[in-house]
Structure 1
Amino acid sequence: MSDFRFSRMAVLRRSKAMVSPRQLRAQAAFWLAAVAIGVVSAGFALMADFAQESFERLTGGGWRRFLPLIVTPVGFMLCAWAAFRFVPGSQGSGIPQAMAARALRDLPGRGNYLSIRIVVGKIVLTVAGLFCGASIGREGPTVQIGASIMMAAGKVADLATMRGLILAGSAAGIAAAFNTPIAGIVFAIEEMGRSFQARTNGVVLLTVILGGLSSLMILGNYTYFGVSLASAGIHDAWLVVLCGLIGGLAGATFTKIVLAVTRRLRRWRDPVPARKVLIVAGVAGLIVAVSGVLAGGSTWGTGYTQARLAIEGTAPDAGFFAGKFVATLASTLSGIPGGLFAPSLSVGAGLGAGIAQIFGGSVALAAVLGMAGYFAGVTQSPLTTIVIIVEMTGNHMIIGPVMVAAMIGFALARVISSEALYATQARFFVADALRLHRAAQQVQAEAAARRG
């Protein structure tokens, strides 16, 4: 009888704790943040599409096709300067910043990479970059946006599991951006998590579900690149291997160039940092503009249209792969906010289509396989690559060939470049945060010594 009374009291205490004001506030903040990620992601997608369409209308036909030679470099410089001056920490994809924030734990520098200010700045400047013709995407930025919203909710609700919330917000960002819930979960495990704790599972799953549903209600049910009808047989094995090898080689080359140039730019000391920012952005913008003019405008923006046509069987122009590769490389190094996911998938689709045109085979199948090999080579995250491509194309019949191409691309990329792109960039952001933290501590110590 005493045991029964004891267990009943324990249940009552647990029930009271679950409905305490603090718990109710925490749950409300979490649910609202998860829904907000989906809503913000959907609004971001609509604004990004509008910006890209506006740029296409502005530069379409006649003498206007040369306008980017002025608009793009100037726009790049304005975006890079605004990010440097008003929203530091918003540059680039956003995925490395979210990873760095998880590594920083309780260091004050975490807030420099994840905040509501970052959310606003990331959206505005990424949309502005697309309006200038930058070869960027909104998917990586949505990861930083989702993580920022979840961290803000954690602060409001006084939640202790910040690292888990960042992970959940990042996964929901990918899921909402691509309408790929499974890929969001896999991304959290493979790229963001690296060590996925059991207690985080439910948080990630619930956040992905709520964020995905709220985005779905606004944008509707869709597959990002339409529906691929490509099929593969044993006679296509050579194409799978070739796309994996060439894709992995190209993806690893992209990563090595980005990291090598980034290290050189970080070592470049300039007494006026803003001047360096403007020079780099201006040169990158000019490269993007020239590559776009030479390619007839196909390399500007996300590359969504070209990738979708390729996986439907219509190959892009012969120079699309090289032009898009260069434009994406310049945009990544420019210092403006913007992601790599959509442009990289577009580059991969162009590469695969080019392989099919040169060596024969199905353009539609090769485009999907090229996406798998190249994207796995860039990110060195084969599981995320496999799931995200299968979900985005709606074709589960070629999951086997996609897996093989992605694993070949990943293996070759690891041989060529032992450094993963996002993880290495995250270390750069961690180093910057630690350096600023130590400088602030030194200033405080010197001030205390003067007062003493």
Structure 2
Amino acid sequence: MVGTSMDHKLRHAARTYGGLLIMGVAAIPIGLIIGAIDAIFGRALLAIGSFRDAHLIFLLPFLALAGLAIAFCYKTWGKNTSRGMSLVFDVGHGREESISLRLVPLIMGGTWITHLFGGSAGREGVAVQIGATVSHWIGRKLPFKHPGNTFLLIGMAAGFAGLFRTPLAATVFALEVLVAGRLEYRALFPALIASLVASATSGALGLEKFEVALTATVSLDATGITRLAILGVVFGIVGGAFAWCLAHAKTLAGRLAPNPYVRIGVIGVALSILLFALWQGRYCGLGTNLISAAFANGATIYSWDWIAKFILTIVTLAAGYQGGEVTPLFSIGASLGIAISGLVGIDPLLCAALGYTATFGGATNTLLAPIFIGCEVFGFSYLPAFFIVCAVAYLFNMDKSIYTLQERA
């Protein structure tokens, strides 16, 4: 009797860990493929941004026409892929069965066009959608019984990791983003493997990782913790406000201009004028120029940079242009951190780093991902500061998320 029970336990363990090992092995080629796509997408996007900055006066006036081209492509060939991250979340929650592979070229091409002609948008949503689409499609071809949304999560993690080269943050981001307050632990091992492989692959193909070496010291006495908590409140509110404003801006734009051509055309003309009038394209593209300025001693960050980037990114995405929100959120948080560092008495570069991470967390309603991003980009020695600020930001973001279909536990 004892032997039978032991045999049953051994067989169960073999099935459990054997299946986990096989899933981890399957994650390796997925990470390779997604990392390679991320490298192509990311390097092309950076080259496009540099070309746009050098020829802005000739490209920005055609932003509206570029928007019409994007709308035409999605209306003609996109089917339901125009839903972007909402489609990914519906598949993750089991409300949709699949994501068409046509999403990959459409989202990549649409984002390249948006950035070429000066739209203020990001790139993370693109990478996550690419990863989710490719991995979920591969998972449906493999003979796994009842994998659920595991392959989707593997792809989301790999897409994030391949683009930002932060595999730990990418792993926990995929595990926690579908349902706020709950972690999808069953995907932990294969998601981590795919993230590490994707990050290494994109790095080997020339996609550089953004890193900053900080030298500031962090005081964790009562005064220091209070200052960090205040920053968390500010960054959490700003992140939550970004998510709230984005959702309402999209609703308002759709109600005022139901026709996608009219919507993107009219708003595109207004954006061209605004983006050029406001410091000749300072707020175009990803916002990496603001991030670089925030972490470069002697560079200029204006007190209004964060709010200008905040508004123009929301308008760009509400119009229907393609791209993500995270890199603009990084730039919003970093420039806001510089602007308020003197008020809270914290080193400006450290304050910018805390804003970089916590504003992202506040806008995505995630806790662990921003903490790990902070550690992987700025150093694990600052873990206590990132933990305090991101935890407070998570509590004060008004439970809002840029991912409107994110569920709550």
Task: Name the TM-score class by shorter chain.
Answer: 0.7 to 0.9
Residue in structure 2 matching 1:317, options 284, 302, 319: 302
Residue in structure 2 matching 1:331, options 316, 324, 338: 316
1:266 Cα shift? 5.2
1:367 Cα shift? 0.9
Structure 1 equivalent of residue 395 of structure 2: 411
| Match status 1:96 vs 2:86 | yes
In structure 2, do the counterparts of structure 1 residues 73 and 266 end up closer, same or farther at CA, with 3 Å as the change threshold?
closer
**Which structure 1 segments of 5+ residues have no match?**
271-275, 428-452
Q: Distance in 2 between matches of 1:239 and 1:71?
A: 45
Asked if the contact 2:287/2:327 (under 8 Å) is kept, the reply is yes
| Match status 1:302 vs 2:286 | yes
1:237 Cα shift? 4.7
Structure 2 equivalent of residue 149 of structure 1: 134
Asked if the contact 1:307/1:346 (under 8 Å) is kept, the reply is yes
Matches within 5 A, 1:160-175: 160=145, 161-175=147-161
Q: Structure 1: which amino acid aligns with 2:157?
A: A
Q: Structure 1: which amino acid aligns with 2:43?
A: L
Residue in structure 2 matching 1:209, options 196, 199, 210: 196
In structure 2, do the counterparts of structure 1 residues 197 and 131 end up closer, same or farther at CA, with 3 Å as the change threshold?
closer
Residue in structure 1 matching 2:29, options 28, 32, 43: 32
Q: Distance in 1 between matches of 2:234 and 2:183?
A: 32
1:116 Cα shift? 1.9
Q: Distance in 1 between matches of 2:265 and 2:256?
A: 16
1:282 Cα shift? 2.6
Structure 2 equivalent of residue 84 of structure 1: 75
Q: Distance in 2 between matches of 1:218 and 1:238?
A: 43
Q: Distance in 1 between matches of 2:274 and 2:346?
A: 28
| Match status 1:178 vs 2:159 | no
1:421 Cα shift? 2.7
Asked if the contact 2:293/2:300 (under 8 Å) is kept, the reply is yes
Q: Structure 2: which amino acid aligns with 1:228?
A: L
In structure 2, do the counterparts of structure 1 residues 228 and 131 end up closer, same or farther at CA, with 3 Å as the change threshold?
farther
Structure 1 equivalent of residue 360 of structure 2: 375
Structure 2 equivalent of residue 445 of structure 1: none
Asked if the contact 2:254/2:263 (under 8 Å) is kept, the reply is no
Q: Structure 2: which amino acid aligns with 1:77?
A: L
Q: For residue 421 of structure 1, give the secondary structure of its aligned residue in structure 2.
A: coil
1:287 Cα shift? 4.3
CA deviation profile, 1:127-186 (whole Å, cap 9, x unmatched)? 111101112122221111011111221233344425110011101111111101100111
Asked if the contact 1:381/1:410 (under 8 Å) is kept, the reply is yes
In structure 2, do the counterparts of structure 1 residues 419 and 331 end up closer, same or farther at CA, with 3 Å as the change threshold?
same
Q: Distance in 1 between matches of 2:192 and 2:59?
A: 46
Q: Distance in 2 between matches of 1:197 and 1:344?
A: 25
In structure 2, do the counterparts of structure 1 residues 426 and 232 end up closer, same or farther at CA, with 3 Å as the change threshold?
closer
Residue in structure 1 matching 2:349, options 344, 364, 368: 364
Residue in structure 2 matching 1:119, options 101, 104, 111: 104
Q: Distance in 2 between matches of 1:155 and 1:79?
A: 29
In structure 2, do the counterparts of structure 1 residues 197 and 291 end up closer, same or farther at CA, with 3 Å as the change threshold?
same
TM-score normalised by the chain length of structure 2? 0.84
Q: Structure 2: which amino acid aligns with 1:304?
A: T
1:332 Cα shift? 2.0
Asked if the contact 1:244/1:408 (under 8 Å) is kept, the reply is yes
Structure 1 equivalent of residue 376 of structure 2: 391
1:384 Cα shift? 1.1
Q: For residue 149 of structure 2, give the secondary structure of its aligned residue in structure 1.
A: helix
Asked if the contact 1:230/1:398 (under 8 Å) is kept, the reply is no
In structure 2, do the counterparts of structure 1 residues 227 and 95 end up closer, same or farther at CA, with 3 Å as the change threshold?
farther
CA deviation profile, 1:70-113 (whole Å, cap 9, x unmatched)? 22222223223322332244447x443322211235x4xx43xx
Q: Distance in 1 between matches of 2:234 and 2:138?
A: 44
Q: Distance in 2 between matches of 1:46 and 1:200?
A: 29
1:353 Cα shift? 1.0
Residue in structure 2 matching 1:58, options 55, 58, 65: 55
Q: Distance in 1 between matches of 2:395 and 2:199?
A: 32
Q: Distance in 2 between matches of 1:74 and 1:243?
A: 41
Structure 2 equivalent of residue 132 of structure 1: 117
Q: Structure 2: which amino acid aligns with 1:204?
A: A
Structure 2 equivalent of residue 247 of structure 1: 235
Asked if the contact 2:92/2:152 (under 8 Å) is kept, the reply is yes
Larger Rg: 1
Q: Which deviates more, 363-372 or 35-44?
A: 363-372
Asked if the contact 1:372/1:385 (under 8 Å) is kept, the reply is yes
- Size of the aligned set, in residue pairs, is 391
Structure 1 equivalent of residue 268 of structure 2: 285
Q: Distance in 2 between matches of 1:321 and 1:73?
A: 24
Q: Which deviates more, 401-410 or 327-336?
A: 401-410
Structure 2 equivalent of residue 448 of structure 1: none
In structure 2, do the counterparts of structure 1 residues 153 and 67 end up closer, same or farther at CA, with 3 Å as the change threshold?
closer
TM-score normalised by the chain length of structure 1? 0.77
Q: For residue 137 of structure 1, give the secondary structure of its aligned residue in structure 2.
A: coil
Asked if the contact 2:338/2:349 (under 8 Å) is kept, the reply is yes
Q: Which deviates more, 27-36 or 375-384?
A: 27-36
Q: Structure 2: which amino acid aligns with 1:192?
A: L
1:315 Cα shift? 4.2
Q: Distance in 2 between matches of 1:27 and 1:362?
A: 42
Q: For residue 372 of structure 1, give the secondary structure of its aligned residue in structure 2.
A: helix
Q: Distance in 2 between matches of 1:196 and 1:402?
A: 20
| Percent of paired sites with the same residue | 22
Asked if the contact 2:27/2:190 (under 8 Å) is kept, the reply is no
Asked if the contact 1:91/1:337 (under 8 Å) is kept, the reply is no
| Match status 1:262 vs 2:245 | no
**Which structure 2 segments of 5+ residues have no match?**
none
Q: Distance in 2 between matches of 1:253 and 1:167?
A: 27
Q: Distance in 2 between matches of 1:189 and 1:351?
A: 28
